[in-house]
Amino acid sequence: MSLPLSGATRVHFIVGDPIAQVKSPGDVTAAFARHGRDAIVAPAHVRPADLTAWFQGVSLAGNVVGIIVTVPHKFACRPLCQTVSERAAFLGAVNTIRRNRDGSWHGDMFDGLGYVAALRDRGCDPAGRRALLVGAGGAGSAIAHALVMAGVESLAIHDGDPRRQGSLVERLAALGRCPVTAGTADPAGHDLVINASPAGMRDGDPLPVEVARLEPGCFVGCVITAPAISPLIAAARDRGLATATGSDMFVRVRDLMVEFLLNR
């Protein structure tokens, strides 16, 4: 892709640690071009200890108009926004930030909406499902919230950090929309199982759930984009189960982020 960059080009960053695995720089830049916008996305590899200083620095450049946030910065970037959506306020996390008219920053979180859309694209409506979600980090929290809002019958959340798991369970249960409980790696009794943890990104990672306990007809999802077919997705397909991948999610989240960033 050849871009006619100039001094008028609007600049966006995607910030994470690590960053080499992300697809957003090319894909979102191409989406901007399709919308006729002179804008790019550049990767920024920033350690957690340096995030605030980096954010303050790029904020001084008036032509930096948006920031996409990936692991592990989604919670840490929330306090750096002067305004946020109701969804981001509930989650305490953001994955996309844009300039307000006064130069301050406004954040929102689209991981959950994007994953629910990806599920529906693959023929799985979460409404009425008994869901198990593994992972209560930034993406996991957003997906959990979106599942509750989409009308799941029940939601169990499993995370290796009991405090983080318990906090998310408590806040979602308080919404009163469905039973929300602490889950385990045993998927028995669930007909929708989603991995929103990093399990499967590295060779030798254990599977996030007991695959042998997946029930017939269960729909299985995973947020991991590299590898494109995560070990959990491969194992589920070996059992003849329908699936949604991290790439399916990325397409939907990308579209939501682009819409948000273009509507300043």
The catalytic residues are 74
What's the CA gap between 154 and 168, in Å, rounded?
14
CB distance 111 to 95 below 8 Å: yes
Query: Is the bond preceding residue 4 a cis peptide, omega within 30 degrees?
Result: no
Tokens 């750096």, located at residue: 80
**Order of strands, sheet of 130-134, starting from the edge strand that comes earlier in the sequence:** 180-182, 154-158, 130-134, 192-195, 219-222, 243-244
Q: Which two tokens stand for residue 96?
A: 């996309």
Can you tell me whether residue 84 is helix, strand or coil? Answer: strand
Q: Which two tokens stand for residue 198?
A: 């990093």
b/e per residue 174-183 (b: at least 16 CB within 10 A): eeeebebeeb
CB distance 53 to 97 below 8 Å: no
**Which amino acid would we find at residue 103?**
G
**Order of strands, sheet of 83-84, starting from the edge strand that comes earlier in the sequence:** 39-45, 10-16, 64-69, 96-99, 105-108, 83-84
Backbone φ and ψ of 106, nearest 5°: -125, 130
Q: Which two tokens stand for residue 9?
A: 């080009």
The β-bridge relationship of strands 105-108 and 130-134 is: unpaired
